[in-house]
């Protein structure tokens, strides 16, 4: 079945550092890819998405490019802030029944220190 | 803004108890989902529903059941709670399929501890 693998955390950075979180996937079809973020005490929020190969999703300074040849969707941000401390989840969509479901990676906790 | 509300943020239940987790969404969404979140495992789909009274098993349905009597409400039921069901439970909803450009919205989660 489909699966998502992302780097384990925690990742600890200083403010203004460069952040990369690796994500690779296996899928039988042509999934859409997502990054979700979970801030402390909150539910998940969609951060960005890409629906086809070579698409780049971007939001709040974060970017990720859908790379079909390497089956990857790595998340990057050039200069992190303390407010970016959160757990980040990579996910792919899959067709089931009458709709879609999301398959998630294990999550990567990011801690940004001032 | 879309709001997905989970009725209980923190619950402590005894082994063998019947547990109800309630979820309500206010945007007339067709699809609703229940996930559990465990460290290192990410989110795993328990059940989902794409219409009233319709339900489909997800990846880990064992030990759980669901009910969707009204479009806005999706309940997760643990018939006889066990300690391995201690987890964070997340409800979600979407208007349609995410591959069609729809977004899945999540509630804040319910922390369940079974002792």
Whether chain B has a CB inside 8 Å of the CB on A52: the answer is no
Q: What is the pLDDT of residue A98?
A: 47
In degrees and rounded to multiples of 5, residue A102 shows phi and psi of: -105, 135
Token pair recorded at residue A90: 């990579």
| B37, B110, B1, A91: CA torsion to nearest 10 | 0
In degrees and rounded to multiples of 5, residue B112 shows phi and psi of: -110, 125
pLDDT digits (tens, 9 = 90+) for A16-73: 999 999 999 998 777 889 999 999 888 899 999 998 899 999 999 999 999 999 999 9
Does residue B16 come out as left (phi exceeding 0), alpha (psi in the -120 to 50 range) or beta? left
Mean pLDDT per 10-residue segment, chain B (115 residues): 86 97 93 92 92 91 96 96 97 79 86 97
Contacts of A33 in chain B (CB under 8 A): none
Cα-Cα-Cα-Cα dihedral sign, residues B46, B50, B53, B56: negative
Give the B-side interface with A, CB within 8 Å: 4, 30-31, 33, 35, 39-45, 48, 50-51, 56, 58, 90, 92, 94, 96-101, 103-104, 106-109
Three-class SS of residue B85?
helix
Q: What is the pLDDT of residue B98?
A: 66
């Amino acid at each position: 079945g489909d699966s998502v693998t992302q780097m384990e955390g925690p990742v600890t950075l200083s403010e203004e550092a460069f952040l990369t979180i690796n994500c690779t996937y296996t899928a039988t079809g042509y999934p859409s890819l997502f990054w979700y973020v979970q801030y402390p005490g909150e539910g998940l929020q969609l951060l960005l998405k890409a629906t086809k190969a070579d698409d780049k999703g971007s939001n709040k300074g974060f970017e990720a490019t859908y790379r079909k040849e390497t089956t990857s969707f790595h998340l990057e941000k050039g200069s992190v802030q303390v407010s970016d401390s959160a757990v980040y989840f990579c996910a792919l969509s899959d067709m089931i029944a009458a709709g879609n479901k999301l398959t998630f990676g294990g999550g990567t906790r990011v801690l940004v220190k001032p | 803004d879309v709001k997905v509300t989970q009725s209980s943020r923190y619950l402590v239940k005894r082994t063998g108890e019947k547990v109800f987790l309630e979820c309500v969404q206010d945007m007339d969404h067709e699809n609703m989902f229940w996930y559990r979140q465990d460290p290192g495992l990410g989110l795993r789909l328990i059940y989902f529903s794409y219409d009233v009274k319709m339900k489909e098993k997800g990846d880990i349905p064992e030990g759980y059941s669901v009910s969707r009597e009204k479009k806005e409400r999706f309940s997760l039921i643990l018939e006889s709670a066990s300690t391995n069901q201690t987890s964070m439970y997340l409800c979600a909803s979407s208007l349609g399929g995410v591959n069609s450009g729809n977004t899945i919205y999540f509630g804040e989660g319910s922390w369940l501890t079974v002792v």
